Amino acid sequence: MKKRKIMALALSCLMVLSATGCGNGNNGNASSPAAGSSAAAGSQSSAQASASTPAADGAEITLWTYPIGKWGDAATVDGLIASFNAVHPEIKVTVEYLDYSNGDDQINTAIEGNQAPDIVLEGPERLVANWGARGLMVDLGDLWTDEAKAAIYDSVESACKSNDGVYYEYPLCMTAHTMAINRDIFEAAGALQYIDEANGTWTTENFIKAVKAVYDSGQANVGAVYCNGQGGDQGTRALVNNLYGGTFTNAEHTEYTANSEENIKALQLLLDMEGINYDASIVGGDEINMFCNGTLAMAFCWNVSQEKNNLDKINFDVLPMAFPSTGDPKLCGGIWGFGIFNNGDEAKIAAAKTFIDFMANDEKQAVESVKASNYWPVKDLGNIYEGDELMTEYAKFVPYMGDYYQVVGGWAEARTAWWNMLQQVGSGVDIKTAVEEFVTTSNAAAKGAQ
């Protein structure tokens, strides 16, 4: 059994998200109803609205789901659908399971062939900033009742709608992406003195000292700035932005700002550090494997699901950490929910809304739907992970969620430009030149998307 130091921390810490959370122009303020209230339990009026939507009888709909925790597991999803069919036997749901290596290609091919799925489970960067912005998605405004808006954190709500206020996503769960260290290696190297182990935080100065201590102990590969593709790029973005307080976009989410002096300084620091290598041969998933097998002493592509999914591979104590920073860390957040492709069939759209409403708003089902994700609810459902030490440990990072900037126009192009920029830096291209090229490319894409 792995060693683990667990803070006695209730999952109610998520409620401080309203003070420190995602801040999309509203400072992350949330209106959180008391547990047991009608809003906390689910939107009754939303359920009534879905039930009264015409032509749901006998509809057959398709759900395509990215691997959001156990939503990528057929046995788990079969159980969720069985619960839905116990209440709505008139609606048949078939499922297609996607992964992040080719899922976008599969959906784009389906769109081109006029065979897009009815429902997709993913995040705002795809549902809102990509397919929604292209006019391919259904407006879900009728699911966003007053009760739903009162229950769901404001910072989540703002990420689920376009700049002109159209809701293309109905959210289910969220998390804060972290990094992690091999505690055993750090302890042997005398590097634990440089971290706040209880809170999972460290300063940039102490990060530098810790990496040096681990490297000097004989661990040549301390960490990797992976850049063979976009997989796991939330980790490299958070690493660079946190080191000296840089930003990725402006607060209005209209342009990319990664060419700041703070980010240039961070990229230079990583390039100069012994033990940290720009690696153009791997993506985030490869880095995770290298961390789990002990090749790397730290992982920048991490969250609670990664630990849960790799428990059988890890024989050391994992210590999740916020990214090193000169102030409070600002972690990249993940928000996942449902969107509906507009396939022109009102009966299927109505059935799809009924499915979403049940999965996200039914008092009992919403808890099971969120728990299947291995993440946290986007509204107060109570302490759904009571007794789960691992989830309790990771819950302390959710209040560190920073701005959810992944809804900027041209996001797909910017992700490609980001890893290309990291490759350039690693190969010796002048950092300022490489970053300016990234910003020019990304802002051109953002302007073209407006």
232 sits in the region (left: phi over 0; alpha: psi -120 to 50; else beta) called left
Residue 57: what pLDDT?
65
- Taking only the tens place, the pLDDT of each residue in 192-210 is 999 999 999 999 999 999 9
Residue 100: pLDDT band with limits 50, 70, 90: confident
- Asked if 276 and 227 touch (Cβ cutoff 8 Å), the reply is no
Mean per-residue pLDDT, 266-273? 98
Residue 143 in 3-state DSSP? coil
Q: At what angle do helices 346-361 and 365-373 cross, to 10 degrees?
A: 90
Residue 118: what pLDDT?
98
- Torsion from C-alpha of 294, 295, 297, 303, nearest 10 degrees: -70
CA distance 45 to 383: 24
CA distance 67 to 73: 8
Is pLDDT larger for residue 335 or for residue 5?
335
Residue 155: pLDDT band with limits 50, 70, 90: confident
Tokens (6 digits) for 360? 């996200």
**79, amino acid identity:** G
CA distance 446 to 437: 14
Evaluate if residue 6 carries a pLDDT over 50: no
Q: Which residues are paired to 62 by β-bridges? A: 94
Contacts of 299 (CB under 8 A, 6+ apart): 179, 180, 181, 223, 235, 287, 288, 291, 306
How many Cβ atoms from other residues are within 10 Å of residue 212's Cβ? 17
Contacts of 440 (CB under 8 A, 6+ apart): none
Residue 122: what pLDDT?
97
pTM of the model: 0.79
Please state, for a pLDDT cut of 70, what percent of the chain lies above it. Answer: 87
Is pLDDT larger for residue 163 or for residue 350?
350
Q: Report the relative pairing of strands 92-97 and 60-65 from DSSP bridges.
A: parallel
Query: What element of type H or E holds 231?
Result: none
Contacts of 193 (CB under 8 A, 6+ apart): none
Taking CB atoms within 8 Å and a gap of at least 24, the contacts of 132-135 are 132/162, 132/166, 132/168, 132/169, 132/339, 133/162, 133/409, 133/449
